[in-house]
Structure 1
Amino acid sequence: MSASSVPPATASTARRPPFDPRDPLGLDELLAPEDLAVRDTVRAWAADRVLPHIADWYERGELPGIRELARELGSLGALGMSLTGYGCAGATAVQYGLTCLELEAADSGIRSLVSVQGSLAMYAIHRFGADEQKERWLPGMAAGEIIGCFGLTEPDHGSDPAGMRTYAKRDGSDWVLTGRKMWITNGSVAGVAVVWARTDEGIRGFLVPAGTPGFSAPEITHKWSLRASVTSELVLDEVRLPADAVLPAATGLGGPLGCLNHARYGIVWGAMGAARACFESALGYAKTREQFGRPIGGFQLTQAKLADMALELHKGLLLAHHLGRRMDAGRLRPEQVSFGKLNNVREAIGICRTARTVLGANGISLEYPVMRHATNLESVLTYEGTVEMHQLVLGKALTGLDAFR
C-alpha cells in the first residue's frame, strides 16, 4: 500500500490517547471520578506513611505505630469501608478493591491489617451481630480506635475448619471457651477477637474482648513473610463470656466462610497491587540499568519479560474490576471469588519472580520492593484458601462432583 493510499485519520483515531505504559489497556476509563479519588487518596497516604519506612519495618520484623496507622486508616474511611452505618464509609466494592490494591502495592501487611479489620472482624459483627454488639464495637473499629482480629484457623485445622477443636460450652447463662487459634493477624493488638468455636448447637461466633480472664494473644515471631504485620496465636483457657457475647445470626460454617469470601475479594485486588509494584520497579530498572553498552530494556529477552508481566498484571486488574462490578450488583458468587483469588495471587507471584530476574542481584535487596513482595505473596497464596482448595471449589462447580473428601 502506498503512502498516498493510507486513509486519513478519522475523528475517532484523532482522539486516541497516547499509550501509557502504566495503564496500557486504559483501565482508568472504567473508573468513575469517585473511584479515582478514593484510589488516589489511598495511594498518596501509602506513599507518605508506609513506603518511606516499609523496608526498615520489614527488615526488623515489626509494624511500629500500628495503632496510629489504624487511626489514620480510619480517618481515610478505609476500615469496614464497604459496610454501611456505624461510622463506616458505605463505599462500593470497586472502591474497596482499589483501596486494597493501593495498600498492598505498599505492603501486604498493611492490606492485611485493613482486610482483617474490615472484611473479617467488622463484617462478622455487622452481618451476624445484635444491634447492641454493633453499637458497642463498630464505631470504634471504623475509626481505628479499636483493632479487631478473626480467630478461625487452628494449629491442626487450616483448610478444614469444620474439624476445629476450640469448644464453647454453656454454664448457666454463660459460655466457657477453651482452645487455640493460630496465624491470627492483629491478634496481640486487638481490642476484640471474633472467635469461632464448636458448640452443641453447631459452630458459633463469639466476641472476646481483650483482657478477658483466660484469654491471651502471644505474638508469633521468626517469620520470613508478612514481617511488617502483627501475627499471633490466640489462647483460650476456660474463657468465661456472658450470653450476649455470641453472634446471634451465625450458626454453622456459613458464618465464618461468608466472612472469608468477603476478605478474599479484597485479595483479588491486593495481589495485583504487589504485582504492579514489582512490574513498575522492573520497568524502571530496565530503562536505566546498562549492560553491554545499552539499557537492558533494549534487549529482546528483557522486553519479552516486561510484555508478559504487563499482560498478566492488567488481565488480573480486569478480572478484579469485573468481580467488583458483580459484587456491587449483588451477583458475585463464592466460586467466582475463588476464580479471582486463585488466578491473581498465582500470577502475582509469577510477576514478582520475573521482576526479580530483571533486577538481577539487586532484586534481593530491600532497596527494591521485589523480594519483599514475593515473600509476602507466599503467605497470601496460602491464607484464606490455599491454591488446592480454590482449585477444588472450581472443580466442584465445573463438574458437580465434590472432591474435598
Structure 2
Amino acid sequence: MSAAPERTRDTVTATDAPTYTFPVPDLSAEALAAVTAEIAATAAEYDRSGQIPVRGLEAAHRAGLLTAAVGTQFGGPGLGPRDLVRILTALGEGDASVGLLAANLLGTHAGQAAHPHWPAAYYDDLLLRSRGGPALVNAIRAEPELGAPARGGIPKTTATRTADGWVLSGHKAYASGGAALAYHVVWAVADEPDGDPERPRVGHLIVPAEAPGIRWIETWDHLGLRSSHTHDVVYDGVELPADAFVEIPRGPDGVYRDPAAQAGPAGFGHAALYVGVARAARSAFAEFARSRVPTALGRPIATTERIQAVAGEVDLQIVQAETLLHGALLRFEAGDTSILPELSAIKVAIGRSVIAATQTAVAALGNPGLSRHHPLERHLRDALCIRVHPPQEDVVLLTAGRRVLGV
C-alpha cells in the first residue's frame, strides 16, 4: 500500500510548489481487492455497534485512496471520475459506510481541484490533517423542516455578515460523518446589511469541525449505513472569517437551483459505492451456495440449475449497473455532451440494478438471507439506501417524461 504524504516545505506562497505531495494510489485489481478485504473484515462489527468505521477508513487512507482526488496543483494525483468510481466501488464492496464517507470526501477534493474556492489556510490545514490519517469532509445541506434541498427551497440556516466575517446559525439534518468530520461545508443563506432581502445570496460556509458553537444531536438510527454517523448538527453563533462564504450563483433567470437537483459526472461516486454493495452481495450469495449442502440433496446447492440461474441474474444486474456507470463517464470524457440530460436517469437505472441484484440474492436464500448472521442481510439494508441520494427517482422520471413529451 502507498505511503503517507510527505511535506515538501514549511511555508507556502501563491508562487510556491504545493505544500504537500500525495502518492498516486495503486488501482490494480489486486490492490483494490486487498483494500476491500481489509475493510470488509470489520464491516459487520461496525454495522452492529454504529461507531465510525475507523479501521476501514484507515485502510483506505493507507492505500492513498482518500486523497486520490486532491488536485495536482495541491500536490495530489488528481485522479478523474472513472478512477474515483473504481475506488468507491471497491470501498463500498468492503463497507457501504466507508464508501459513503469516502465519496463525500473525494467529491470535495475533486471540486476544489476543478474550481479552487476554499479559504487557502483552511484547505492547507485539511491537507495537513490528511497526512496523518483520514480527514473527512461533508457538504451539510438538509434541514429538519426543509427536507431534501434538491426538491427546492432555500435554507433557514443563516450566515450573518459582521465587520470581521460571518456568524453561522442553524439546525441541519443527515450530516454524514458526525463528530469524525474535520470540516463541514454548510449550506446557508446570507444575511447582509446591504443585501437584497427578496433575493439573498445562497452559498456554503467552510467550517472547521472544532469551531466553538457546534453541537451534535445523535439522531441516526437507520436501516442501512448504520456506521456513517449521519446525525443532526446545530450551529449556534459559529464565527468564521470573511472568505469562508462561497456563493452559489443563481441561474440565468435569476432563480436559485440546487446543484444536487440533477446528476452530473462528479456525482456518480455515490452510485459507484452501491455497485460495490451489490458486488459484495453477489460474493456472499456465491459463498453460501457453495457451502450449503442440504441433507436431501447431498451436494452444494451451487450445483443446481435453479441457484445457477439466480447467480446469473444477480450477475446480469451488476454487469448492467457497471456498464451504465462506466459507459456514461466514457461518453462524457469523449466529449459527448448529449448525455448530460440523461445522467440522472442513468443514476436511477444503476440504483434499480443494485437493488434488484441484492434482492434477488436474498430472496433465493430465504431465511438465511434475512438473518443478521449472514452478510446478505446487511448488504440488502445498505443497497436500499441508494434511493435517498439526489436526484430522487420520482423527480428524475417526471423531468425525463416532460423532456420526451416536450411539455
Instruction: For residues 286-319 of structure 1, give each alpha carbon's deviation from its aligned partner in whole angstroms, at most 9, with x where no partner exists.
Output: 3342343243334443333222222111111111
Instruction: For residues 199-244 of structure 1, give each alpha carbon's deviation from its aligned partner in whole angstroms, at most 9, with x where no partner exists.
Output: 2542111111123232223333322311122222121223222211
* Aligned equivalent of 1:78: 65
Shift of residue 39 of structure 1?
3.9
Letter in 2 for 1:360: G
Shift of residue 345 of structure 1?
1.6
Letter in 2 for 1:73: A
**Quick one: which of 168, 178, 194 aligns to 1:187?**
178
* Aligned equivalent of 1:339: 345
Relative to structure 1, the CA distance from residue 366 to residue 330 in structure 2 (aligned partners, 3 Å threshold; closer, same or farther) is farther
Letter in 2 for 1:93: P
| Pair 1:349 & 2:318 matched | no
* Aligned equivalent of 1:171: 162
Q: Distance in 1 between matches of 2:171 and 2:234?
A: 5
**Quick one: which of 269, 274, 279 aligns to 1:276?**
279
Shift of residue 117 of structure 1?
1.1
Segments of structure 1 that go 5 or more residues without pairing to the other structure are 1-33
User: 3-state SS of the aligned residue for 2:317?
Assistant: helix
Identify the range of structure 1 (224-233 vs 134-143) with the bigger mean alpha-carbon deviation.
134-143
Relative to structure 1, the CA distance from residue 245 to residue 91 in structure 2 (aligned partners, 3 Å threshold; closer, same or farther) is same
* Aligned equivalent of 1:287: 290
TM superposition score normalised by structure 1:
0.79
* Aligned equivalent of 1:94: 82
- Whether contact under 8 Å (1:264, 1:341) holds in the other structure is no
User: 3-state SS of the aligned residue for 2:217?
Assistant: coil
Shift of residue 323 of structure 1?
1.9
User: 3-state SS of the aligned residue for 1:162?
Assistant: coil
- Whether contact under 8 Å (1:187, 1:193) holds in the other structure is no
Segments of structure 2 that go 5 or more residues without pairing to the other structure are 1-23, 251-255
- Whether contact under 8 Å (2:152, 2:258) holds in the other structure is no
Shift of residue 357 of structure 1?
2.2
**Quick one: which of 95, 116, 125 aligns to 2:104?**
116
Q: Distance in 2 between matches of 1:329 and 1:73?
A: 30
Instruction: For residues 159-190 of structure 1, give each alpha carbon's deviation from its aligned partner in whole angstroms, at most 9, with x where no partner exists.
Output: 42533221223223422222111111113211
Letter in 2 for 1:361: N
- Percent of residue pairs identical: 23
Shift of residue 51 of structure 1?
1.6
Measured on the aligned residues, the alpha-carbon RMSD in Å equals 2.9
Letter in 2 for 1:84: G
Q: Distance in 1 between matches of 2:96 and 2:375?
A: 11
Q: Distance in 2 between matches of 1:83 and 1:328?
A: 19
Number of matched pairs: 363
Shift of residue 344 of structure 1?
1.4
**Quick one: which of 151, 155, 165 aligns to 2:144?**
155
* Aligned equivalent of 1:59: 48
TM superposition score normalised by structure 2:
0.79
- Whether contact under 8 Å (1:271, 1:377) holds in the other structure is yes
Relative to structure 1, the CA distance from residue 259 to residue 343 in structure 2 (aligned partners, 3 Å threshold; closer, same or farther) is closer
Question: Which structure is higher in helix share?
Answer: 1
Q: Distance in 2 between matches of 1:162 and 1:142?
A: 34
User: 3-state SS of the aligned residue for 1:79?
Assistant: coil
Letter in 2 for 1:257: A
Q: How does 1:2-401 map to 2 (within 5 A)?
A: 37-48=27-38, 50-64=39-53, 66=54, 69-85=56-72, 86-119=74-107, 121-126=108-113, 127-130=115-118, 132-133=120-121, 135-140=123-128, 142-143=130-131, 144-156=133-145, 157-158=147-148, 159-199=150-190, 200=195, 201-247=200-246, 250-252=248-250, 256-257=259-260, 261=264, 264-291=267-294, 292-293=296-297, 294-329=299-334, 331=336, 334-401=340-407
Shift of residue 387 of structure 1?
1.9
